[in-house]
Chains A and B, each alone.
Chain A
Amino acid sequence: MTELDFKHKMAAHCESGTITSLLNFGGLDITEPLVFGISGGIFFGYFHKMKSFAFPTFIVRNKPGQMRVDIEKRLGVKFKTYAFKDPASGMTALDDLIDRKIPTACQVDFFYLDYVPSWERVHINVHFMVVVGRQGTRYLISDAYFPKMVELEATSLQKGRFAGGEMSPKGFLYHLDRIPPEIDMKKAVERGIRKACFNMLKIPIPFLGIRGMRMFSRKILEWPAIARDTEHLSHEIMKINILLEDQGTGGAGFRFIYATFLQQASEILNKSELRDLSAELMLIGDGWREISLFAARIGKNRDLGAEKLKQLSDMIRDRADVEENFFRKLSKTV
C-alpha cells in the first residue's frame, strides 16, 4: 500500500481535526482548539424559514469549509483545492496526489463510509477526512472520529465524494500547499477572537449570533404548530441534542473546544483574563449540555406540552444572556 508517514489523531470535530492534522504533517505544531479558535469557528445561527431546511434548525459553528479559508487568512498558510464534475477524473486526481505522497482531505457524505457502524450512518454531505494511502481499490483513511486509521473501498469513497443533495461535495479535495517560514501566532489568535466576538455580538443579521439565540428561544414555542404531529415534534426536539452533542461539536455546541482555545490563547498572549474566561465558558457549556439533556428527555418521553417548551425556551434565552455578557468581556481582551 502507498502509505505516508502521517500521524493519525482523533479530534473533536472533523473539519478542524482535518486541518490540524494536515498542518501538523506539514511541520506546524498547532492544536485543534487553536485551529478552531483562530478561524473564529464558534458561532450561532437559527433558521426558522429557509428553503434548504424542511423544519427550523440551528447551527453552532461557522459554515462548512469556512474554517480552512479563515485559517489561511490568519496564519498565512495555503491549501490547494480541487472540485470535479466527473467522478472518474476526481478519483484519478486523488490517486495521483496519494502516489505523490500528499495527504489529501476529502469532503464526503458520511453515509457512504462503510467503516462507520450502520446505526451511526447519516447523510451529512460535509464530513471531512484525510486519505493517506492506497492499494488497488482500498484507501487508507485518517478520520478524526475514529481511534485508528481505517480502510475504505474505492466504490464507497467515490459515492461519498460525489453524493448529491444539499452542499454536495462535488469531489472536493484539498491539501497543504505552503506554510510560511514565520507565523505571528499572537496576531492570529487576536484576530480569531475579534472575529468570534463580531459574529456573536455585532453581525447585523437578526437570526445570527446572540440575536439568533434569542430568536431560537422565542420561535421554539411555535414548533408545535409547524410539526406534523407529536412524533415529528419529538424527533425535531431530540435533534437539539444531536446538533449540540453528537455531530462532532466537541461537546456543548463547540463551547468546550472554544474554552480550551481560550486557555491556550491565554498562554500565547500572556493574558490571565483569558484563562478566567475559559473557565467561565466551560460553565456556560455545561448549561448548553443541560439544554441538550432536557431536550433529549422531553423528546424521548413525548413530554412536549406548552410548559415544557416554555422551560426549554427559557433555558435557551438564559444562554443568550450569559453568552452576550461573556462575549462582551472577551471582546475587551484584544
Chain B
Amino acid sequence: MDELKLEIKKLIMSTLAIDNVDPATVDDEKPLFGGGNALTLDSVDAIEIIMAIQRTYGIRINDQNLAREVIRSVNTIAAFITEQRNLQPS
C-alpha cells in the first residue's frame, strides 16, 4: 500500500509538472485540495488527475461526485485503486 501511495504522489506530480515538492512531504491523509498539504491542487488539476488514473491504472471514474470523493487525498485514491483492482477478474 505504501508503494502505491508513493506511486500516486509521483503520478500526480508528473501529471501536473510539479518538480519542487518532495513526495515524502505530501501527507497521505490531508486533503489535496484547498490548501493544508504540500501539494495544493485546484479543480482544473482534478480532471487531469482523474484522466491520469484512468490511463495508468485502467480504472474509470466517470461520475464527478464519486471523483470528488476519490481524489480527496492520497489515501482515498489508494483505497479506490485497491478496491477496483480487487473487483477486476484475475
Contact = CB atoms under 8 A, between A and B. Distances in A.
B33 to A, nearest CB: 10
Interface residues of B, number: 14
21 contacts: A12-B64, A12-B65, A119-B34, A241-B43, A241-B44, A246-B64, A249-B64, A250-B62, A250-B63, A250-B64, A251-B64, A251-B67, A252-B62, A256-B62, A257-B62, A282-B60, A289-B51, A292-B47, A293-B47, A297-B44, A300-B44
B69 interface: yes
A-B pairs, 7 with minimum CB distance: A256-B62, A296-B44, A251-B62, A12-B63, A300-B44, A293-B47, A10-B65
B48 interface: yes
A193 interface: no
Contact of B63 (A119, A238, A256, A292): A256
Interface in B33-65: 34, 43-44, 47-48, 51, 60, 62-65
A41 B48 CA distance: 27
Q: Name B's interface SS.
A: helix
Contact of B48 (A238, A246, A285, A293): A293
A245 interface: yes
B51 A245 contact: no
A147 interface: yes
B69 A293 contact: no
Contacts of A285: 62
B77 to A, nearest CB: 17
Contacts of A223: none
Interface string A9-26: 011100000000000000
Interface residues of A, number: 27
Interface of B: 34, 43-44, 47-48, 51, 60, 62-67, 69
A174 B69 CA distance: 30
Nearest to A147: B69
Contacts of B47: 241, 245, 289, 292-293, 296
B4 to A, nearest CB: 24
Nearest to A301: B44
Contacts of A6: none
Contacts of B66: 10
A245 B43 CA distance: 10
Interface in A282-316: 282, 285, 289-290, 292-293, 296-297, 300
Contacts of B44: 238, 241, 296-297, 300
- Which residue, of B51, B60, B62, B69, has the highest number of chain A Cβ atoms within 10 A? B62
Contacts of A147: 69
Nearest to A144: B65
Contacts of A79: none
A282 B63 CA distance: 12
Nearest to A299: B44
A145 interface: yes
Given A11-B65, A248-B64, 19 more contacts: A12-B63, A12-B64, A144-B65, A145-B65, A238-B44, A241-B47, A246-B43, A248-B65, A250-B62, A251-B62, A251-B63, A251-B64, A256-B62, A256-B63, A282-B62, A290-B51, A293-B48, A296-B47, A297-B44
Nearest to B61: A251
A241 B44 CA distance: 8
